[in-house]
Structure formats: structure tokens, C-alpha cells
């Protein structure tokens, strides 16, 4: 018999966060989160997303043992401002027992119906900066820290419960040796002169901070046309600054500004932390922090996390300026492999940007939807 319980206490929430540690203990590809950070993500007093969203957390039990979990999420900015009457769900993990996954999804559906929502979609997080999608192809590759990993049987559960594919994403990689400066070197000089642009270089995190609000504003502008985009609010900006920027080597943050010092393009690249996080096994202390710091400065693999160009400058080659800056940085640091985080497969604009590097798709993932 399967029992599903909504959880509230700190002890239960920690069990919620730690369940995947047991589920994936034998996987060489799963990457554990930092437990403390994951708990803060779900803390209504620390994560400002709860100003505009709500979440309820459930654990499934079988013979008094935890066998599954799910977070049921409503982003009210999405529902009220965009009229997207969507019930979100994420952090959805379960043993290979369809009664378990069904029982958890029924709780999500119940909450959606209670709030007069039209459909459910998952796995997704609270916002566009959260993890997204269930892996459908490419299970034999270590997961980046900014994505979820899952067992292959997850997809069968979605289909068995009547869910249909909603969105499709791909993740790709290319060796740094594929990056040929002739594709952008001359072009970026011409573009900088034509539009009076310049690239900013950073060596300290403190130098980045004065520009981060502008970066999030540009993120909102440049991604607003994508399906189900939810803008980042001012209060969320402060949270994301603390959560992400300190993790990133400032050499890996590139901004392009115009003559008035207004931001027209940006990109954020992260070192590959996955192996360091596996060694940390969910804990920063006593040794986890050391593994992460080492990866921050020594990793030879990098992950392109975000890239955004102001709508006014899209299709004008600004990305060539950004790529030139990264080429010089990566060449000096001996970077070997570049990875891209999940990108919508119908986002033709972003795929055109990368075509000269001959990326290879190594993983696909999808979100699934069901009418309520």
C-alpha cells in the first residue's frame, strides 16, 4: 500500500532533499545537490520566489519506507499575469513502481483542480532559472549541477499516466579545438566599431556586482518571447546574486556595453562542478568546499549557462564579441570541452549562434503535460 504525506517540518524536508541520495547511490552519473542550499531553496523565509509562488511538498511511503517525492508548485505571476493556468511540479523522484508515481501525481492534480488551473506540467522548478525536464536520451553522461538526472524508467511512468510531451530540450557539447577564431575575430572588431560597443573584463566578483541588476533586466528582455517565460522580479535578483554569482569565476562572466555603458549582451559560463559535487556528497564541510573551490579555478570543462542579447541588437553579431572574449580566456586557461545547458529545441536563434562550433547533442529531455 502506498501512502502519500504532505510534509511541513524541517526533519521531513531534509528527508525530502535526501531521498535521491538513496535512489541514486549506485549511479555514476547523478550529481548530488548541496543539502544546505537545497533546503534554502524550499525555505519560504529565504527564497523570495515565495513572494509570488507557493509550493507544497509530498513524500510517498511503502512499508514505512520513503519511495518517492514531489513538489507541487504554483507560480502566481505565470497564472495571473500571463494567464497560463499551469500547475507546476518538480523534484519528482520515485522508485520503479507506477503506483508510487501515480499517487504523487494525483496530489499535484488535486491541488491544480482546487485552484482552478487547466493543466499540469513537469518536471519544472519555480522559474526559468531552475532545473527543467526529464531525461529521455543520454543517460550515460554525468549531469551538470544545473540539471536534474533521472533513471530511464521515469519516461515510462509519464506515458503510463497519460502525460504527453509539452516541451523538448537538448544539451550539446563541443571540444574547444572546434572554436576557430576566424569565425568571429574580424567580425567582432567591425561590430564594436559600427555600434560603438566594448567588452567588459572582470577579475573580481565585486567588479561584477554593479552590473548584475542590468544583466537580469536584459535576461528578462531577451528571453521574454520564449514559451512560458516568467520574468525575474527585483527581490529575486538579490537572491540569485548570492546564490549563483559567487560560484562563478569572474573571468567567465562577459558583458558587452554601448557608448552609454548600457548592457546590450551578456554571457555566464560556469566551471564544471559535477565531479566536485559528487566528491562533496551534499556537504560543504569539512571537505566539500575544498573540492568546489578547486573545480572553480582548475576545471578544464565549462558550461555555458546563460547568454542574452538585447532585442535591438539581436541578429547584429554581438555574440561574436562575446565569443572572442571567451576564446581568449579559455585559450589561456587550457579549457578542453564546452557544454551547453538545456535549450529549447525550437529556439532556432540560439542554435544558429553555435553552428560554427559543430556541437553534438549528447542528451535530450522533455517536460510532460496533462489536462486537469
Largest pairwise CA distance in the chain:
69
Q: What is the pLDDT of residue 347?
A: 79
CATH architecture designation of domain 175-365: 3-Layer(aba) Sandwich (3.40)
Report residue 106's pLDDT band, with 50, 70 and 90 as the boundaries: very high
Which residue has better confidence, 349 or 276? 276
pLDDT category at 292 given cuts 50, 70, 90 is: confident
Q: DSSP letter for 145, please.
A: T
Given a cut of 70, whether residue 228 has pLDDT beyond it is no
Domains 2-170 and 175-365 belong to one CATH topology? yes
How many other C-beta atoms can be found within 10 angstroms of the C-beta atom of residue 106? 13
> Is the pLDDT confidence value at 279 over 80?
yes
- 295 pLDDT higher than 90: no
pLDDT at 223 over 90: no
Indicate the average pLDDT of the chain.
91
- CA-nearest of 15, 9, 108 to 66 is 15
pTM of this prediction?
0.92
pLDDT at 206: 85
pLDDT for 245 equals 77
**pLDDT at residue 230 in the model:** 75
Q: What is the predicted pLDDT for the residue at 145?
A: 86
The pLDDT of residue 356: 86
184-192: Cβ within 8 A, 24+ apart: 184/319, 184/320, 184/321, 184/323, 184/324, 184/327, 184/356, 185/324, 187/317, 187/320, 188/317, 188/320, 188/321, 188/323, 188/324, 190/317, 191/316, 191/317, 191/318, 191/320, 191/321, 192/321
Mean pLDDT of 142-148: 91
The pLDDT of 224-238, averaged and rounded, is 73
The burial of 108, by beta-carbon neighbours within 10 Å (0-12 exposed, 13-18 middle, 19 or more buried), is given as buried
At residue 226, the pLDDT reads 66
- Cβ-in-10-Å burial (0-12, 13-18, 19+) of 342 comes to buried
CATH of 2-170, one of 3.40.50.300, 3.40.630.30, 3.40.50.1820, 3.40.50.720: 3.40.630.30
pLDDT at residue number 337: 96
* Domain spans of the chain, in order of start: 2-170, 175-365
Whole-number pLDDT of residue 216: 87
pLDDT of the residue at 227: 60
Please report the pLDDT score of residue 220 as a whole number. Answer: 84
Write down the pLDDT at residue 131: 93
Residues whose CB falls within 8 Å of the CB of residue 75, separated by 6 or more in sequence, listed in order: 49, 52, 53, 86, 88, 126, 127, 230
Position with higher pLDDT, 215 vs 370: 370
Please state, in angstroms and rounded to a whole number, the distance separating the CA atoms of residues 8 and 59: 11
Instruction: Give the strand pairing for 86-94 and 119-122.
Output: parallel
Helix 234-244, helix 205-223: angle, nearest 10: 130
Confidence at residue 297, expressed as pLDDT on a 0 to 100 scale = 85
Q: Looking at residues 154-159, what average pLDDT do you find?
A: 98
The answer on pLDDT for 189 being more than 90 is yes
Between the alpha carbon of residue 349 and those of residues 64, 70, 102, 128, the distances in Å are: 50, 34, 38, 18
Distance between CA atoms of residues 126 and 130, nearest Å: 6
Q: Give the pLDDT confidence of 21-42 residue by residue, as tens digits.
A: 999 999 999 999 999 999 999 9
Give residue 133's pLDDT. 97
C-alpha cell at 115: 485552484
Residue 291 in grid coordinates: 573540492
Q: For 190-205, how does the pLDDT look when each residue is reduced to its tens digit (9 = 90+)?
A: 999 999 999 998 888 8
pLDDT of 208: 86
Q: In the prediction, which pLDDT does 352 show? A: 80
β-bridge mates for residue 122, sequence order: 368
Lowest mean pLDDT among 63-72, 278-287, 356-365: 278-287
- Maximum mean pLDDT: which of 237-246, 265-274, 289-298, 346-355: 265-274
Query: Greater confidence, 211 or 177?
Result: 177
pLDDT at 237 over 80: no
Residues 6 or more apart whose CB falls under 8 angstroms from that of 117 comprise 74, 79, 85, 86, 87, 372
Amino acid at each position: 500500500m502506498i501512502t502519500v504525506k504532505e510534509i511541513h517540518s524541517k526533519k521531513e524536508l531534509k528527508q525530502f532533499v535526501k531521498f535521491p541520495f538513496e535512489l541514486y547511490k549506485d549511479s555514476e552519473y547523478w550529481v548530488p545537490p548541496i543539502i544546505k542550499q537545497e533546503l534554502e531553496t524550499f525555505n519560504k523565509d529565504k527564497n523570495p520566489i515565495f513572494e509570488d509562488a507557493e509550493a507544497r511538498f509530498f513524500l510517498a511511503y511503502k512499508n514505512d519506507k520513503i519511495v518517492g517525492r514531489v513538489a507541487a508548485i504554483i507560480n502566481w505571476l505565470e497564472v495571473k499575469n500571463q494567464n497560463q493556468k499551469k500547475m507546476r511540479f518538480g523534484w519528482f523522484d520515485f522508485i520503479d513502481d507506477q503506483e508510487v508515481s501515480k499517487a504523487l501525481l494525483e496530489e499535484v492534480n488535486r491541488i491544480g483542480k482546487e485552484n482552478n488551473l487547466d493543466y499540469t506540467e513537469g518536471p519544472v522548478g519555480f522559474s526559468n532559472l531552475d532545473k527543467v525536464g526529464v531525461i529521455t536520451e543520454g543517460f550515460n553522461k554525468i549531469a551538470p549541477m544545473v540539471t536534474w538526472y533521472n533513471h530511464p524508467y521515469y519516461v515510462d511512468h509519464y506515458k503510463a499516466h497519460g502525460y504527453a510531451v509539452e516541451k523538448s530540450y537538448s544539451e550539446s557539447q563541443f571540444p574547444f579545438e572546434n572554436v576557430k577564431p576566424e569565425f568571429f575575430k574580424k567580425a567582432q572588431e567591425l561590430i564594436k566599431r559600427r555600434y560603438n560597443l566594448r567588452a567588459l573584463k572582470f577579475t573580481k566578483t565585486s567588479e561584477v556586482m554593479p552590473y548584475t541588476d542590468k544583466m537580469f533586466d536584459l535576461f528578462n528582455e531577451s528571453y521574454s518571447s520564449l514559451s512560458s517565460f516568467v520574468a525575474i522580479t527585483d527581490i529575486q535578483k538579490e537572491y540569485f546574486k548570492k546564490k549563483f554569482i559567487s560560484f562563478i569565476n569572474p573571468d567567465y562572466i562577459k558583458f558587452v556595453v554601448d557608448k552609454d555603458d548600457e548592457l546590450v549582451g551578456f554571457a555566464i559560463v560556469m566551471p564544471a562542478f559535477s565531479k566536485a559535487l559528487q566528491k562533496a556528497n551534499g556537504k560543504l564541510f569539512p571537505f566539500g568546499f575544498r573540492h568546489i573551490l578547486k573545480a572553480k579555478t582548475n576545471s578544464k570543462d565549462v558550461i555555458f549557462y546563460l547568454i542574452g542579447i538585447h532585442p535591438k541588437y539581436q541578429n547584429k553579431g554581438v555574440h561574436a564579441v562575446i565569443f572572442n572574449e571567451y576564446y581568449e580566456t579559455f585559450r589561456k586557461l587550457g579549457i578542453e570541452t564546452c557544454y551547453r545547458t538545456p535549450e529549447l529545441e525550437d529556439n532556432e536563434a540560439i542554435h544558429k549562434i553555435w553552428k560554427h562550433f559543430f556541437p553534438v547533442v549528447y542528451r535530450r529531455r522533455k517536460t510532460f503535460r496533462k489536462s486537469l
